[in-house]
């Protein structure tokens, strides 16, 4: 459209183009186009800055912002004095992304030596299709640091916690243990899992190129460390119970056993030991027998330790008094086509002597005076057939059959503890009705600071006191358990020797038990001992379980500093050697 | 007019320098805080480990073993025990 006139030179101001009259629509169109594109730009800016702002902001932040988790540790478990029973310390786990971790053989050897692994095993772990493998878990932080110093590609670390149990096998059943991912699997670790568990927190931060945190952005969620659980357990008494039990088991060549120590005033479980046990710090080869917390999960026929309850009920319902004479001659009693017999035949015995001499016939005769429903009610009242409700995994109810199905012979055998099954902890707790003034104390795993003033009343205070006297007679010369005596303290208790049921028949295997309390003038501790299948000649509760009771009780009372309530020169039977108190 | 502009420019420069320094200071203080917090966590971990050590060394079986074997201590037999009764006087 431009017309050039030959080679004429022009100045800009005289440019003939300027003289040309262009159609006005062209400039308008151009102006409109420019305005239009600005409108589009502004619209786009509005869209990005206002409408789509949140999304973009987030995308932008994600380029430099990191969310990091703040780990929380699991709470400690401590005994009543604050001594640690279980504690978590941080450990490291080393992992690899096999696709990225292409290591030279030398590097593999180097890494293996730091991790204390077999190089071939390590190479095998790395040679996999998986996208992620743990190389080793729970290694000490110092080792993890040496791994980090190797600066190998595709090898990373995580922080995790490992649980340590300084008291080891001694408190294994009580405390339990956690799995590798910090979940409680057994014992208190499981029962109090919710309380022990920590809540990890989180924070968002800006990191610089070197990975250092430069700034906090957003709010910080503080981690909540798990709370400490203070048990009622006294680790000193626990040790005494455990070591004496262990000694007795090896001495009598027994299969298993258990000891429960309860504070009679508060219902606290002061010690609970089982054998066999295990080391919770090293659980490579665990068997079910080791894991079982027998005192809570196993029931047994208690045998004569149940007689005091029958007799207390007889006295409570006014059928007998402690001096009522029961004819136990000739040491046998036939009900239906079954015969009950005494281990040693006795003649006429007073009710108190029935306990002292532990006469089955006497107990059965007293039971015959009682309605079966009353007897069932009493068993129920003292907690037999009910779970102890400690929240412990696997605690059992035991077995008391409904009274409507009882036959006379069954009621007779139940009076001396056969045809009924209880756990050791139930038995120990039931004895609190005699150690206290007839009321049953609720059990507690954790510390109770004030004494429980009154539990559920089962017997009157008068009956409880009278039975207490009878139980004291049982450990004196002439009773079944003189070996349960402790110099300096008045002791009361009852032996039990029960045949074991095997396949519905009574086998020639025994469970020896002893339950007692001391000092009688103001009972503080109730101790129940159970020894399963003693097979070194002796099997009577008075010979097997009573000495364990005496040594645990004697040393525990001294440990607690409870003043003696008897002159130290006790009427010792020449046969009974002094209990070898330890520590 | 020009003089006012120059003054404002100077004020602006000063302000921006102030922002830069305070930001820098804030970051340094923040880093120091981070270091201290890390230190606190370390100490907490160490405390736990020491507690663990304490209860391992103070475990009853170990104490008994040392008392018996090294120090040759033993529980007195009951004839050798004299109890001071709380009410006064003593009984054997």
- β-pairing, A77-78 vs A213-221, is unpaired
Asked whether residue B39 is domain-assigned, the answer is yes
- β-pairing, A256-263 vs A201-207, is unpaired
Task: Name residues 17-76 of chain B within 8 A of A (Cβ).
Answer: 27, 30-31, 34, 45, 48-49, 51-52, 54-56, 58-61, 63-64, 67, 75
pLDDT of residue A574 exceeding 60, the answer is: no
d(CA A335, CA A266): 42
- Quick one: pLDDT at residue B90? 43
Would you please indicate which residues of A are annotated as catalytic (active-site) residues? 304
- Quick one: pLDDT at residue A10? 67
pLDDT of residue A297 exceeding 90, the answer is: no
Residue B59: list chain A partners with CB under 8 A: 166-168, 170, 239
Total Cβ atoms within 10 A of residue A63? 6
Å between B55 CA and nearest CA of chain A: 6
pLDDT of residue A467 exceeding 90, the answer is: yes
In this prediction the pTM is 0.80
Among A53-67, A212-226, A325-339, A565-579, the range scoring the smallest mean pLDDT is A565-579
d(CA A433, CA A373): 20
For tokens 């509760």, the residue is: A541
Question: Could you tell me the residue range of the domain that residue B44 belongs to?
Answer: 26-70
User: Phi/psi at A206 (nearest 5 deg)?
Assistant: -105, 130
Interval A362-393: pLDDT, tens: 999 999 999 999 999 999 999 998 888 888 88
- The number of distinct structural domains making up chain B is 1
**B45–A239 CB contact, under 8 Å:** no
Asked whether residue B61 is domain-assigned, the answer is yes
* Residue A3's pLDDT band (cuts 50, 70, 90): low
Question: Across residues A515-529, what is the average pLDDT?
Answer: 94
Asked whether residue B84 is domain-assigned, the answer is no
- Look at A215 and A233; give whichever has higher pLDDT: A233
- Quick one: pLDDT at residue A579? 46
CB A88 within 8 A of CB A242: no
Please indicate if any CB of chain A lies within 8 Å of the CB of B90: no
Among B31, B34, B52, the residue with its CB nearest the CB of A84 is: B52
Asked whether residue B9 is domain-assigned, the answer is no
Å between A166 CA and nearest CA of chain B: 5
Please indicate if any CB of chain B lies within 8 Å of the CB of A165: no
| Beta-carbon contacts below 8 Å between A and B | 79
| Closest chain A CA to residue B28 | A214
Q: pLDDT exceeding 90 applies to what percent of chain A?
A: 34
Low-confidence ranges of chain B (pLDDT < 70): 78, 83-92
Task: Name residues 543-562 of chain A within 8 A of B (Cβ).
Answer: 555
Among A361-370, A480-489, A574-583, the range scoring the smallest mean pLDDT is A574-583
- Quick one: pLDDT at residue B43? 92
Please indicate if any CB of chain A lies within 8 Å of the CB of B9: no
CB A489 within 8 A of CB A566: yes
Q: Which tokens in the block code for residue A415? A: 């009076």
Total Cβ atoms within 10 A of residue A582? 18
**A89–B48 CB contact, under 8 Å:** yes
d(CA A24, CA A33): 14
Q: Which tokens in the block code for residue A220? A: 């910080």
Total Cβ atoms within 10 A of residue A56? 11
Please indicate if any CB of chain B lies within 8 Å of the CB of A582: yes
Across chain A, what does the average pLDDT equal? 86
- Quick one: pLDDT at residue A54? 87
CATH class of the region A235-560 = alpha beta
3-class secondary-structure state, position A218:
strand
d(CA A567, CA A167): 36
Question: Across residues A140-159, what is the average pLDDT?
Answer: 84
- Quick one: pLDDT at residue A577? 44
User: Phi/psi at B30 (nearest 5 deg)?
Assistant: -60, -40
Residue A159: list chain B partners with CB under 8 A: none
Residue A580: list chain B partners with CB under 8 A: 75
Among A2-11, A206-215, A411-420, A448-457, the range scoring the smallest mean pLDDT is A2-11
Please indicate if any CB of chain B lies within 8 Å of the CB of A215: yes
Residue (of A487, A560, A486, A558) closest to A516 by Cα position: A486
Interval A540-558: pLDDT, tens: 888 999 999 999 999 999 8
d(CA A271, CA A263): 9
Residue B60: list chain A partners with CB under 8 A: 170, 235-236, 239, 583
- Quick one: pLDDT at residue A433? 93
Task: Name residues 439-498 of chain A within 8 A of B (Cβ).
Answer: 487-488
Q: Is the peptide bond before A519 cis (omega within 30 degrees of 0)?
A: yes
Asked whether residue B63 is domain-assigned, the answer is yes
pLDDT of residue A239 exceeding 90, the answer is: yes
d(CA A183, CA A190): 8
Residue B91: list chain A partners with CB under 8 A: 564, 567-568
CB A148 within 8 A of CB A158: no
Asked whether residue B14 is domain-assigned, the answer is no
**A89–B60 CB contact, under 8 Å:** no
Residue A28 exposed, middle or buried by CB count within 10 Å (0-12, 13-18, 19+): exposed
Total Cβ atoms within 10 A of residue A124? 10
Question: Across residues A65-70, what is the average pLDDT?
Answer: 80
DSSP H or E stretch at residue A249: helix A235-251
Residue B40: list chain A partners with CB under 8 A: none
- Per-domain boundaries in chain A: 235-560
Interval A488-501: pLDDT, tens: 889 999 999 888 87
For tokens 């004299």, the residue is: B82
Question: Across residues A472-476, what is the average pLDDT?
Answer: 91
Q: Which tokens in the block code for residue A528? A: 């129940």
Asked whether residue B5 is domain-assigned, the answer is no
Å between A134 CA and nearest CA of chain B: 24
Å between A206 CA and nearest CA of chain B: 11
DSSP H or E stretch at residue A493: strand A492-502
DSSP H or E stretch at residue A207: strand A201-207
pLDDT of residue A127 exceeding 60, the answer is: yes
Asked whether residue B64 is domain-assigned, the answer is yes
- Quick one: pLDDT at residue A572? 45
Among B31, B45, B54, the residue with its CB nearest the CB of A90 is: B45
* Residue A37's pLDDT band (cuts 50, 70, 90): very high
Interval A306-334: pLDDT, tens: 999 999 999 999 888 888 898 887 888 88
- Quick one: pLDDT at residue A2? 53
């Amino acid at each position: 459209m431009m017309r050039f006139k030959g080679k004429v030179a022009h100045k800009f101001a005289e440019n003939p183009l300027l003289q040309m009259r262009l159609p006005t629509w062209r400039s308008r169109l151009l102006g409109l186009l420019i305005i239009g594109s600005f409108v589009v730009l502004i619209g786009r800016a509005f869209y990005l800055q206002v409408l789509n702002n949140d999304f973009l902001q987030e995308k932008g932040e994600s380029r430099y912002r990191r969310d990091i988790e703040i780990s929380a540790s699991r709470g400690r478990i401590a005994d009543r004095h604050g001594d640690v029973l279980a504690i978590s310390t941080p450990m490291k786990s080393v992992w690899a992304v096999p696709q990225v971790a292409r290591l030279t053989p030398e590097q593999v050897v180097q890494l293996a030596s730091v991790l204390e692994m077999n190089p071939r095993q390590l190479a095998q772990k790395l040679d996999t299709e998986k996208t992620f493998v743990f190389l080793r878990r729970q290694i000490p932080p110092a080792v993890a640091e040496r791994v980090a110093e190797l600066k190998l590609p595709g090898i990373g670390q995580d922080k995790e916690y490992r649980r340590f149990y300084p008291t080891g096998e001694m408190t294994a059943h009580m405390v339990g243990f956690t799995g590798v991912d910090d979940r409680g699997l057994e014992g208190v670790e499981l029962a109090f899992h919710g309380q022990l568990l920590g809540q990890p927190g989180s924070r968002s931060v800006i990191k610089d190129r070197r990975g250092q945190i430069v700034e906090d952005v957003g709010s910080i969620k503080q981690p909540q460390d798990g709370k400490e659980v203070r048990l009622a357990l006294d680790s000193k008494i626990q040790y005494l119970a455990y070591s004496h039990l262990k000694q007795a088991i090896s001495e009598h060549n027994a299969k298993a056993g258990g000891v429960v120590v309860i504070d009679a005033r508060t219902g606290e479980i002061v010690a609970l030991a089982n054998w066999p046990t295990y080391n919770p710090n090293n659980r490579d080869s665990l068997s079910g027998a080791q894991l079982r917390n027998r005192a809570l999960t196993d029931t047994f026929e208690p045998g004569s330790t149940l007689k005091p309850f029958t007799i207390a009920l007889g006295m409570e319902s006014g059928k007998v008094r402690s001096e009522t004479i029961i004819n136990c001659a000739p040491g046998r009693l036939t009900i239906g086509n079954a015969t009950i017999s005494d281990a040693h035949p006795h003649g006429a015995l007073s009710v108190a002597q029935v306990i002292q001499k532990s006469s089955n016939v006497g107990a059965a005769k007293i039971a015959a005076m009682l309605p079966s429903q009353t007897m069932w009610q009493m068993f129920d009242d003292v907690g037999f057939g009910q779970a102890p409700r400690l929240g412990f995994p696997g605690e059992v109810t035991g077995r008391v059959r409904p009274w409507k199905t009882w036959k006379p012979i069954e009621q007779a055998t139940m009076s001396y503890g056969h045809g009924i099954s209880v756990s050791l902890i139930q038995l120990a707790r039931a004895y609190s009705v005699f150690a206290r003034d007839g009321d049953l104390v609720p059990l507690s795993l954790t510390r109770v600071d004030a004494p429980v003033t009154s539990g559920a009343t089962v017997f009157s205070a008068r009956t409880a006191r009278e039975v207490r006297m009878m139980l004291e007679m049982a450990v004196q010369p002439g009773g079944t358990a003189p070996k349960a005596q402790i110099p300096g303290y008045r002791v009361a208790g009852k032996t039990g020797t029960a045949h074991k049921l095997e396949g519905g028949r009574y086998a020639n295997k025994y469970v020896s038990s002893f339950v007692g309390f001391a000092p009688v003038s103001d009972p503080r501790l109730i101790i129940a001992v159970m020894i399963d299948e003693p097979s070194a000649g002796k099997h009577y509760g008075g010979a097997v379980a009573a000495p364990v009771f005496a040594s645990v009780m004697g040393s525990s009372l001294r440990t607690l500093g409870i003043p003696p309530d008897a002159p130290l020169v006790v009427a010792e039977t020449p046969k009974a050697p002094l209990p070898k108190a330890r520590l | 007019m020009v003089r006012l502009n120059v003054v404002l420019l100077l004020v602006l420069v000063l302000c921006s320098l102030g922002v830069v320094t305070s930001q820098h200071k804030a970051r340094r203080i923040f880093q120091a805080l981070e270091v201290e917090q890390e230190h606190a966590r370390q100490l907490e971990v160490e405390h736990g480990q020491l507690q663990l050590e304490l209860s391992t060394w103070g475990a009853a079986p170990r104490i008994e073993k040392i008392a018996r074997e090294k120090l040759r201590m033993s529980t007195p037999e009951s004839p050798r025990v004299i109890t001071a009764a709380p009410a006064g006087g003593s009984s054997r």
